[in-house]
């Protein structure tokens, strides 16, 4: 049996590809010697500072937020941190996906291991233990303002360190206290600053960003594959995808999209035959411009999120080599709030243009039967899946109202500008899931339309793609339960990995 590969946490940057590998291959996490030294060094530095000085240091020997002027005695420093976690655990709503929780644990361990947070080594190790043993704390959608970090969801994430809260373990919801007892783990006794180090940070927002971007990377590929199939089934033109058109407006994503379509459609009998029409509707003709702009947006957003997941975002931060403890604002989620709003808007455009292509396929144009069914009237065919796509596209428009333009002051006006990045993060994921559904509906329609072009064939690439799809979803001869076909198509796309 092959030995399971571990991921060694170091101060070096972590990537999307690596996170995906860790999740898919169920890798275990281990701390590098370098990170152990950095963690211990920052903790020893803080302990020394506290022993030598009576000066107030925010959140370490003072209260939090608007209570920052209240000094705390040394005997109460541990209780202060425990109270912080307990009092801030008011995260509510729907439970977030388990892989987002896994990413949160991974990213927090990665950030603490950089040595600017002054936490105990055992605290970081316990976070890693939760990840490795797949003990996933309950974390919910609502409660973060995305400003003083993701306080409420991170408090929920780390309640089990104290033996509190509920976890998902071996397919059941179990009290953290019971799991700790089973593992023979003692609850962590938090020391100075540790509660803040755990709760201040952007890991709820950034983990949603990573999870949604991993979906988005797949979605933009599917958009080209499915769009190319629809173009061919609609008897569309290849000329708008020619390299010369893109070279005179050389946006990177536009060039890439047109090149993808030429590659995907290479060898198609349908695309190569003589056409009676000279133009296609914008939903086909402008695919390079629309899909390309979305690709450029996703690339930009991925760059911002990758910077964030390799940053230290708790507060205050310690710099042992410079003999500094600084209370700053790295926990503020503005970079994520803006970009995750942008991600939702960009992805929504893929669904918007996809729904229009679906409509064209069922509209009875270019020798395709209305609603893609032979015996019309008796059968409604593919009439209603387009309704479903239209409904989802409309919902996306509502979800794309930016969260980042809003701010509600909190903590008695001490936190007087917040990012609302938590809401931006959860909305972006909802939009991504919606886009996959709309693309699935387009694929369901396009493969149906292809059968009405027979015996002509599309490209070898698409014929192979459709052959694989037909092992999951069959051609519709007469009216059937269309929701089953749509859900099976979503599952096909969600599971699949296709190379362009």
Digit-coded pLDDT (tens) for 25-81: 999 999 999 999 999 999 999 999 888 877 766 657 665 555 555 666 666 778 888
For residue 316, say if its preceding peptide bond is cis, omega within 30 degrees of 0: yes
Q: Which domains does the chain have, with CATH numbers?
A: 6-201 (1.10.275.10), 208-495 (1.20.200.10)
Cα separation, 113 vs 108, whole angstroms:
8
Q: What percentage of the chain has pLDDT greater than the value 70?
A: 94
Residue 489 has pLDDT above 90, yes or no: yes
Cα separation, 9 vs 31, whole angstroms:
5
pTM (predicted TM-score): 0.94
Cα separation, 366 vs 372, whole angstroms:
12
Give me the mean pLDDT over the 283-312 stretch: 98
3-class secondary-structure state, position 418? coil
pLDDT band at 377 (very low <50, low <70, confident <90, very high): confident
Between 193 and 212, name the one with better pLDDT.
212
Position of tokens 């459709």? 466
Cα separation, 359 vs 280, whole angstroms:
14
Contacts of 134 (CB under 8 A, 6+ apart): 169
pLDDT band at 203 (very low <50, low <70, confident <90, very high): very high
pLDDT score, position 411: 77
Digit-coded pLDDT (tens) for 99-150: 999 999 999 999 999 999 999 999 999 999 999 999 999 999 999 998 888 9
Q: Beta strand 6-9 with 28-31: parallel, antiparallel or unpaired?
A: parallel
Buried b (16+ CB within 10 A) or exposed e, 9-46: bbeeebebeebeebbeeebebebeeebbebbeebbebb
Q: Which of 226, 222, 223, 219 is nearest to 448 (CA)?
A: 226
172: left (phi over 0), alpha (psi -120 to 50) or beta: beta
CA 75 to each of CA 80, 88, 266, 385: distance values in angstroms, whole numbers, following the listed order: 10, 22, 73, 65
Q: Which of 372, 360, 326 is nearest to 60 (CA)?
A: 326
Q: Which of 408, 392, 405, 403 is nearest to 428 (CA)?
A: 403
pLDDT score, position 408: 84
Give me the mean pLDDT over the 229-241 stretch: 97
Cα separation, 482 vs 486, whole angstroms:
6
Digit-coded pLDDT (tens) for 174-192: 999 999 999 999 999 999 8
332: left (phi over 0), alpha (psi -120 to 50) or beta: beta
pLDDT score, position 65: 55
Would you please indicate which residues are annotated as catalytic (active-site) residues? 58
Cα separation, 123 vs 194, whole angstroms:
8
Give me the mean pLDDT over the 292-300 stretch: 98
pLDDT band at 1 (very low <50, low <70, confident <90, very high): very low
DSSP characters for 147-216?
BSBSHHHHHHHHGGGGT-SEEEETTEEEEHHHHHHHHTPPPP---TTHHHHHHSS-HHHHHHHHHHHHHH
3-class secondary-structure state, position 308? helix
Contacts of 488 (CB under 8 A, 6+ apart): 472, 473
């Amino acid at each position: 049996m092959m030995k399971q590969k571990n991921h060694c946490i170091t101060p070096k940057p972590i990537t999307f590809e690596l996170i995906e590998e860790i999740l898919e291959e169920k890798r275990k996490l281990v701390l590098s010697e370098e990170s152990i030294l950095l963690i211990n060094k920052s903790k020893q530095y803080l302990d020394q500072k506290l022993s030598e000085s009576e000066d107030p240091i925010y959140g370490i020997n003072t209260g939090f937020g608007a209570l920052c002027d209240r000094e705390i005695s040394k005997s109460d420093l541990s209780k202060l941190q425990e109270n912080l976690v307990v009092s801030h655990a008011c995260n509510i709503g729907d439970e977030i996906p388990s892989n987002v929780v896994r990413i949160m644990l991974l990213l927090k361990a990665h950030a603490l291991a950089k040595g600017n947070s002054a936490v105990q080594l055992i605290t970081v190790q316990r976070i890693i233990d939760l990840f490795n043993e797949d003990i996933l704390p309950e974390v919910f959608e609502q409660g973060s303002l995305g400003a003083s970090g993701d306080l409420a969801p991170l408090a929920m994430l780390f309640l089990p360190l104290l033996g509190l809260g509920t976890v998902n373990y071996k397919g059941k919801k179990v009290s953290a206290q019971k799991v700790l007892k089973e593992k023979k783990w003692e609850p962590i006794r938090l020391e100075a600053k540790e509660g803040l180090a755990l709760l201040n940070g952007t890991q709820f927002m950034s983990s949603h960003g990573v999870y949604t971007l991993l979906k988005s990377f797949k979605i933009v590929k599917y958009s080209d594959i499915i769009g190319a199939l629809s173009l061919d089934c609609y008897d569309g033109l290849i000329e708008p995808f020619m390299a010369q058109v893109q070279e005179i407006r050389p946006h990177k994503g536009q060039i890439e999209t047109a090149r993808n379509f030429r590659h995907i459609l290479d060898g198609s009998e349908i695309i190569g035959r003589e056409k009676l029409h000279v133009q296609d509707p914008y939903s086909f003709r402008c695919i390079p411009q629309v899909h390309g702009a979305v690709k450029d947006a996703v690339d930009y957003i991925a760059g911002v999120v990758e910077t964030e997941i390799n940053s230290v975002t708790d507060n205050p931060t310690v710099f042992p080599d410079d003999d500094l403890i600084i209370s700053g604002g790295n926990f503020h989620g503005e970079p994520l709030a803006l970009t995750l709003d942008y991600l939702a808007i960009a992805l929504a455009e893929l669904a918007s243009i996809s729904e229009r292509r679906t409509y064209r396929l069922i509209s009875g144009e270019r020798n395709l039967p209305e609603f893609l069914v032979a015996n019309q009237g008796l059968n409604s065919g593919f009439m209603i899946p387009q309704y479903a796509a239209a409904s989802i596209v409309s919902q996306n428009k509502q979800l794309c109202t930016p969260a980042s333009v809003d701010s509600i002051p909190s903590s008695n006006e001490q936190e007087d500008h917040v990012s609302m990045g938590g809401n931006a993060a959860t909305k972006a994921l909802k939009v991504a899931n919606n886009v996959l559904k709309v693309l699935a509906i387009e694929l369901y329609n396009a493969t149906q339309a292809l059968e009405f072009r027979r015996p002509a064939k599309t490209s070898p690439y698409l014929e192979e793609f459709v052959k694989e799809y037909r092992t999951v979803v069959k051609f519709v001869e007469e009216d059937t339960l269309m929701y089953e076909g749509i859900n099976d198509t979503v599952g096909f796309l969600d599971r699949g990995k296709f190379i362009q």
